[in-house]
Amino acid sequence: MPIFIVDGHQVEFKPGQTIIEASRNAGISIPHFCWHPKLSISGNCRICLVEVEKMPKLVIACSTYASEGMVVHTKSEKTIDARNAVMEFILINHPLDCPICDEAGECKLQEYAYSHGKGESRFEEIKNRKEKRVQLGPHIKFDGERCISCSRCIRFSDEIAHANQLTFRNRGDKVTVTTFPGELFDNPYTLNTVDICPVGALTNNDFRFKSRVWEMSSTDSICIGCSRGCNTEMWVRNNEILRLTPRKNDEVNSAWMCDNGRLNTFKFVNAENRIDGTYLRFNGFLKKAELSSAINFTAKKIKEFKSNEIAFIGSAYATCEDNFVLAKFAKSLGVQNIDFPKHIALGDCDDILIMEDKTPNSFGAELVGVKPINNGNSFESIITNIESGKIKALYIIDEDIASISDKYEKNLTKLDLLVVHSSNENKTTALADVVFPSSTYAEKNGTFVNFNGRIQRIKPAVTTEEMDRALDGMNMSRWDKFGTKFDRWMQGRRVDAKSSWNILSMLSLHLNGKMKYDMAEEVFADIASSIEEFKGLDYDMVGSKGINLKIKESIKVK
């Protein structure tokens, strides 16, 4: 590969790479506002000015291509003076909003003012006033005074979201960002502009004024809004999820996620209708009970039915681990009626990220065995056989069957036994004889398989009482690396919930089964040893960005 010199270091580059790209790949940081690796080059902020030998003037690193033998200085006196001048110019009209700005702690302007600014201003006039708290669309507020006209939001709307809804209006120091006349900034990806805005000009209505970044912990996770499985970061304070942001993974979602996934896939975790403990039905009413009592009751009732009178319903919202143990449990009882409902929104998709399948793990659920065994009944047939009385007992994990249709709700009332694992109260739990509290995807370890056969990990971002009990028996020095963030992570409300695989494992032991798992890793090891597509994998191999399974063409999700 060709080589050029940056601050005395030899840097390899690919032909066609700019100075800023090649330097970044080599670990050399050049300050920038308008440049973004996923957007076109605009070159209008000028903070990336560098000195290149044999060139008469300073050049901007974002649009100047690297060439063989080029010698670049990013820390020369000439470069630093120019950078300081650019920072002084940008800060002339910028308001002193840092104490009240949501971007504080994540703001490039704040960081560069400290590392590349003079620390003083010669500007003595009154700062230019612009519109504040402008509602650009349903989810975005715009503060014109904070905007530094980098154009990232405009380019994102045009190039990534394919919805050319934003533009600059006016000239000079009056320039501002606005929508085209008669337009709203309402495409499905608007909140990505909050992430890429280098200052606090664009803010998320949902997260606005809720927390500072240093008060939250962040955990790598996966979006459960559709079968794409976008990589995310889950931000938590006082054991409450406050926001989701996209995590870069070029194999899945690039650096983006949709607004629906960002806003509507975590609030049920913090909701008031969380099921906190186990419930049994007595005299027509659900009453709180000890987990051991519910396990004993359920095991006793299941023994009263023939295997062909029982059906199991898994879930594409549940992890591979939960679904695998459910399928294994059904097989141990000789039950062949097992399936899960599909949640397909026909036409609700695009060629960017959004998929018609609105669940994160339908492919994974099938791979680990949640499908009719031999001549067993499919989901629709199970519902029909409940209506006819052939199926008398139904075991459901993490699905609200009754809310799918009035017919399904009516059929569930005909059962002799309905056992439900659920994280939140719903129409199905209201009809259940036994309700087990299941952990959400934010409270457990596990894996999902997206539509493309890529297995990805989720990790606990908030704690449950079950996790607290486990931590009490551990050497807390193991957690020192979390520091104060972990202390905050431990505060706040915690529900009494368990992973579905854990509850099923306990129930199996009461029915002479041999399943005994203490950790999700043990369940995954069992999956890897018994299912061809998962052979040889473990959590470390899956890693933070996932890995493609070896899927046969005949079973790939269409």
Classify 409 as helix, strand or coil. Answer: helix
Spatial distance between the Cα atoms of 92 and 121, rounded to a whole number of angstroms: 7
Structure tokens at 137: 């669309």
pLDDT given at position 470: 66
Distance CA 420, CA 398 (A): 8
Is residue 189 within 8 A of residue 160, CB to CB? The reply is yes
pLDDT value of residue 478: 43
Contact between 449 and 542 (Cβ < 8 Å) = no
User: What's the CA gap between 418 and 312, in Å, rounded?
Assistant: 10
Pair 337, 310: CB distance under 8 Å: yes
Alpha-carbon gap, residue 314 to 362, rounded angstroms: 10
| Residue where the block lists tokens 């449990």 | 329
DSSP assignment letter at 418: E
Domains along the chain?
3-91 (3.10.20.740), 125-269 (3.30.70.20), 278-555 (3.40.50.740)
Helix (H, G, I), strand (E, B) or coil at 320: helix
Pair of tokens at residue 153: 């939001």
Beta-carbon count within 10 A of 198 CB = 23
CA dihedral 232, 235, 241, 245 (to 10 degrees): -40
CB 453 within 8 A of CB 436: no
Give Rg (Cα) of the chain.
28
> What is the spatial distance between Cα 64 and Cα 67, in angstroms, rounded to a whole number?
9
- Contact between residue 428 and residue 422 where contact means Cβ atoms under 8 Å apart: yes
Contact 442, 462 (CB under 8 A): yes
Q: Which two tokens stand for residue 382?
A: 């199970």
Q: What is the pLDDT of residue 519?
A: 94
Question: Whole-prediction pTM value?
Answer: 0.92
pLDDT computed for residue 490 by the predictor: 55
Long-range contacts of 512-520 (CB under 8 A, 24+ apart): 513/329, 513/332, 514/332, 515/325, 515/328, 515/329, 515/332, 517/325, 519/445, 520/319, 520/321, 520/444, 520/445, 520/446
H or E segment at 528?
Answer: helix 520-530
Low-confidence ranges of the chain (pLDDT < 70): 468-491, 553-558
Backbone angles phi, psi at 549, to 5 degrees: -75, 160
Distance CA 108, CA 114 (A): 10
Please answer whether residues 47 and 55 qualify as being in contact, where contact means their C-beta atoms are separated by less than 8 angstroms: no
Residue 122: CA count within 13 A, CB half-sphere: 6
Q: Which residue in 371, 394, 372 sits closest to 309, CA to CA?
A: 394
**CA 456 – CA 317 distance, rounded (Å):** 14
